[in-house]
Amino acid sequence: GFLFGAYLSCGNVLMATYNGIERGLVVWNLDRRDIKALRPRLEEALLKAFNLKLDVCKTIKSQSKPNRFICYNRPLSKWILANLGKTTSKRFPNEFLVNNRPFLTGIADGIRDFRGNVPDEKRKAGSRTRLLNQNTVQLYQFLTDVLSNTERRI
C-alpha cells in the first residue's frame, strides 16, 4: 500500500521507445529533507511488492529541484500506467480497496509522507509542497475516515 500511496502523491511514469526498444521508468520526487527517511521505505516497498532490487533504482540529487528516486522497470511502468494513471489523471481502482487494514494504512501513509497538500495538515514552514489531484485527496480523506473508525468495513 505504501508504494501506491507514494506514487499517487508524488510519482510519475514514463514510457518511451528508444532505438526500437520500449523502456519504462517510474519517478518519485522527494523533498531533500525527506530523502533519508523515505528512500529506505520506498526501496523496501519495491522489494516486497515487486521483488525489485536496489540496483534498478537510483537517486538523482539536485540543488534546484527535488531529489528524484527512479526505478527503471518496463513491466512496473506499464502496470502503474494502466492501473494508477499519471500526472493529473492519477486514480486508485476500487477493486484495490480491500478489507486489509495494513494495506490501507500503507496507502494513507504513502500519500501523507510523500504528499503535497493534504487538507488539515501543514508541513514545516518553508518546505515545498505538491498539489494532489482531487482523486488522491478524496482517497486520502476516505482512508483516514475508514481507518479512524475501527468497526467500519469497506
How far does CA 74 lie from the centroid of its chain? 17
The burial of 143, by beta-carbon neighbours within 10 Å (0-12 exposed, 13-18 middle, 19 or more buried), is given as buried
Distance CA 149, CA 142 (A): 11
Distance CA 8, CA 11 (A): 6
152 pLDDT more than 70 = no
pLDDT band at 110 (very low <50, low <70, confident <90, very high): confident
Of how many residues is the chain composed? 154
Which of 63-72, 77-86, 100-109, 134-143 bottoms out in mean pLDDT, i.e. has the lowest? 63-72
Q: What number is the average pLDDT over the span 67-82?
A: 86
The burial of 50, by beta-carbon neighbours within 10 Å (0-12 exposed, 13-18 middle, 19 or more buried), is given as middle
pTM of the model: 0.77
87 pLDDT more than 80 = no
Mean pLDDT over all residues of the chain? 77
pLDDT band at 22 (very low <50, low <70, confident <90, very high): very high
Which pLDDT value is given to residue 54? Answer: 52
